Structure 1
Amino acid sequence: MILLIDMPEVPMKTILEKLGYVEIQCLRKNCHSLRNFIDYFKPEQSIDVMEISGTAGNISLLIYRNDDSQLYPNGQKIHVEYQALDGENTEITWFRKNKYPKKTILHENFSEVLSRDFGLILKCKLPILRRFSIDFKYTSKQFLKKHLLNKSPIKTNTLIIKTNTLITQRQDDILSFLPYICADTLKKLEIEFVDLSGTLMNISKIVEQEHWKRAKELHIHGVSVMAGIQNFEHFSYLVVKFDLLYLKDVLFLKELFFHTPSTFKQYRISFGKLSDRDAFIRELGHPITEQRQTLIFERPDDKENVVTIGFFPKFFEFKIIKKCIAPREVEVN
């Protein structure tokens, strides 16, 4: 009988490329020779979503392929939770289809156990992730630094950051994390601040980062931002809130939508209050009421598309749409 480790390198690689993440990790535990070969070869994995979230004493790690919603073994979706126990002990729960096996790790902090498992995932040859989501509310960032320092940044199309840190730490929190993410592959940036509604955040340093400049889609939830409107003009899709919205900023966006070469652009600009409500009414020609109002404008040198500006009690919505689907009851300006 030929042992797996005695096989030539080519068939060994072929076998490993057919295996999922769980099977690969089982093989790593089989013997040192297999582990060394796997760590050297780094077989490709189809994982393209990674999510880290949790509470003060419980961290959840999910890895899966975006189109695979079935938990292992029915699918390749892996969901593991790390629960802190008394005495620096950790309970691990692996959520599988129809059963939830548990294991207790003695004398090791749950964050350290998560850190080790996260490191094993990063040792795999991963594709560009569709989405990488991390919850900073309770998750220690030390494991990121431990496993990503001096290594290639994580490549992802979408980055989701959730946090509820103090107002003085928010920007630094995000800035300390961005170096571990590849700016070249980033298309969508989503930042969610939990339990901080109604507060202001200075993002003057974040807007200078390559991640900000290269992303085409931005969502910021839970806070009002402090930054010039010009810092947002390169986004194709934008959801953001300002505490005080100025008429000059709305007019800037109006001109931007008139003249941008792109025909896909949509902004939702929320606000706490308007700088001069009467000036807005005079400029727009409509009262700002509880009812939705929509203005439609022709785009210069564009016969197929128009700009719509919808204004609501607490936000403006800018869109470029096909002229043929514009509301017929609204006059085109």
Structure 2
Amino acid sequence: MTSPLLLLPGVTMDHILYFCDYLEIARLRNVCHSLRNHIDLFKPDAHVKEVRLGNWENAEICFESENESKNNSRIWIGYKEAHDGCTVACKTHMGSTPLKTISGLDPMDALMQDFKIYLRHLKTPLIKFKLDEICCDPLLQIMRSQTFKLKTNKLQLCELSTAQILAILRFFDANCLKNLKIFTDVNDVTGEPLGVFHELFETEYWRNAEKIRLSNFYISDVRQISHLKKFEGCMSTATIDDLVFLKNTFIRLTGFEWIHINFDVDFDVPSINEAFGAPSFDIEFTNSWFFRIHNDTSVLWVELTDNEVLVIERVDRSDIPPGAVVINY
């Protein structure tokens, strides 16, 4: 029997499909060959807001969708090796489907075949895309054959090498990417952090980003983060002039939220006091300065903990501790 959808005018049917989420589109593709061919040809938007590829050592896809009525939809697909092939498990907010066994297919190949189906329906920029190392190289292979760049506001890369990070970034739209998180363990051989990622700082992805978080990669110059509204990372050492530069920069930067930097070398607090003045508020192991922001209801809070952890944050004046002195900028 012909699906009622196929009896509608093409424009009407496409408009209806536009409001379907990924899970609904995946189900519609299984109704009949005619509907599947129409969906694959016209690529209706799947309304996926978040995608996760991989989870540690596990071959997984996870889609988070949101339809027009704001009812969240979630689909998780896991792939594991099996005798002469792989098994595929699927869970959604509506329950689980029976475990399927696919003969003669590698789990990662099966995952990427399903991801290619999703790519056919991708039009709207994603809110978040998370990629684990296990899926990086297979994703690179299929993206090299694509004629478009993935658009996402947030990108999270987990356990990728520096070469993989630079390779995968070029398949994302730098103008769309505003929030970048890179989580990488310390070097397994030496146990030491992975050093300064000079190549990343020179990319348009770094220059265009507004919020960046690095794990175990170091910045070498505070000016590399002076354009950011939010930053979390590490640095070997900095001068008092660097701290003054950061304070003066972020007190003027519209939309600035906070930075958090861990240093390897302790700061000389007396020298900071000479540059900033006496702390506005201090407790054991922590010194805080509050700087007035003219024509604003917030202040710039600079905090140094254990002489090696620097936090600069814009906070509301109501959050200033009683008795703390606000320093005129």
Shift of 1:317: 0.9
- In the other structure, the counterpart of 1:142 is 138
Which of 240, 261, 268 is residue 269 of structure 1 equivalent to? 261
Q: 1:190 corresponds to which letter in structure 2?
A: K
Shift of 1:2: 5.5
SS in 2 for 1:116: helix
- In the other structure, the counterpart of 1:13 is 14
Matches within 5 A, 1:27-38: 27-38=28-39
C-alpha distance 279-157 of structure 1, shift in aligned 2 (>3 A): same
Provide, for residues 247-274 of structure 1, a one-character-per-residue CA deviation record: whole Å limited to 9, x for no partner: 332222122134x241533111111223
- In the other structure, the counterpart of 1:50 is 51
Shift of 1:79: 0.6
SS in 2 for 1:189: strand
Q: 1:320 corresponds to which letter in structure 2?
A: R
- In the other structure, the counterpart of 1:101 is 98
SS in 2 for 1:234: coil
Check the 8 A contact 1:219/1:238 in 2, yes or no: yes
Which of 140, 151, 157 is residue 161 of structure 1 equivalent to? 157
Q: 2:302 corresponds to which letter in structure 1?
A: I
Which of 165, 176, 190 is residue 185 of structure 1 equivalent to? 176
Identity across the alignment (%): 22
Q: Which moved more, 1:91-100 or 1:153-162?
A: 91-100
Q: 1:298 corresponds to which letter in structure 2?
A: R
Q: 1:130 corresponds to which letter in structure 2?
A: I
C-alpha distance 224-67 of structure 1, shift in aligned 2 (>3 A): farther
C-alpha distance 216-76 of structure 1, shift in aligned 2 (>3 A): same
Shift of 1:126: 3.5
C-alpha distance 34-214 of structure 1, shift in aligned 2 (>3 A): same
For residues 120 and 152 of structure 2, what CA distance do their matches in structure 1 show? 16
C-alpha distance 277-199 of structure 1, shift in aligned 2 (>3 A): farther
Check the 8 A contact 2:194/2:217 in 1, yes or no: yes
Shift of 1:24: 2.4
Shift of 1:50: 0.4
Shift of 1:149: 3.5
Shift of 1:302: 4.0
Q: 2:23 corresponds to which letter in structure 1?
A: V
C-alpha distance 30-268 of structure 1, shift in aligned 2 (>3 A): same
Check the 8 A contact 1:54/1:135 in 2, yes or no: yes
- In the other structure, the counterpart of 2:111 is 114
Alignment size in residue pairs: 318
Shift of 1:220: 1.3
TM-score relative to the length of structure 2 = 0.84
SS in 2 for 1:230: helix
TM-score relative to the length of structure 1 = 0.83
Shift of 1:205: 1.2
Indicate the RMSD between aligned Cα atoms, in angstroms.
3.0
For residues 322 and 140 of structure 1, what CA distance do their matches in structure 2 show? 42
Q: Which runs of 5+ in 1 are unaligned?
A: none
Task: Tell me, yes or no, if structure 1 residue 330 matches structure 2 residue 324.
Answer: yes
SS in 2 for 1:330: coil
For residues 67 and 266 of structure 1, what CA distance do their matches in structure 2 show? 33
- In the other structure, the counterpart of 2:164 is 173
- In the other structure, the counterpart of 2:244 is 251
Check the 8 A contact 1:200/1:226 in 2, yes or no: no
Check the 8 A contact 1:183/1:211 in 2, yes or no: yes
Task: Tell me, yes or no, if structure 1 residue 203 matches structure 2 residue 197.
Answer: yes
Which of 305, 308, 311 is residue 312 of structure 1 equivalent to? 305
For residues 116 and 309 of structure 1, what CA distance do their matches in structure 2 show? 50
Check the 8 A contact 2:258/2:313 in 1, yes or no: yes
Shift of 1:6: 5.0
For residues 219 and 212 of structure 2, what CA distance do their matches in structure 1 show? 15
Check the 8 A contact 1:48/1:126 in 2, yes or no: no
C-alpha distance 195-85 of structure 1, shift in aligned 2 (>3 A): farther
SS in 2 for 1:139: helix
Q: 1:273 corresponds to which letter in structure 2?
A: V
Check the 8 A contact 1:66/1:130 in 2, yes or no: no
For residues 257 and 158 of structure 1, what CA distance do their matches in structure 2 show? 22
SS in 2 for 1:151: coil
Q: Which moved more, 1:276-285 or 1:127-136?
A: 276-285
Check the 8 A contact 2:288/2:303 in 1, yes or no: yes
For residues 186 and 156 of structure 2, what CA distance do their matches in structure 1 show? 17
Check the 8 A contact 2:54/2:131 in 1, yes or no: yes
For residues 253 and 23 of structure 2, what CA distance do their matches in structure 1 show? 47
For residues 255 and 76 of structure 1, what CA distance do their matches in structure 2 show? 45
Shift of 1:235: 0.4
Q: 2:105 corresponds to which letter in structure 1?
A: E
SS in 1 for 2:237: strand
For residues 303 and 100 of structure 1, what CA distance do their matches in structure 2 show? 55
For residues 115 and 303 of structure 1, what CA distance do their matches in structure 2 show? 50
For residues 264 and 201 of structure 1, what CA distance do their matches in structure 2 show? 27
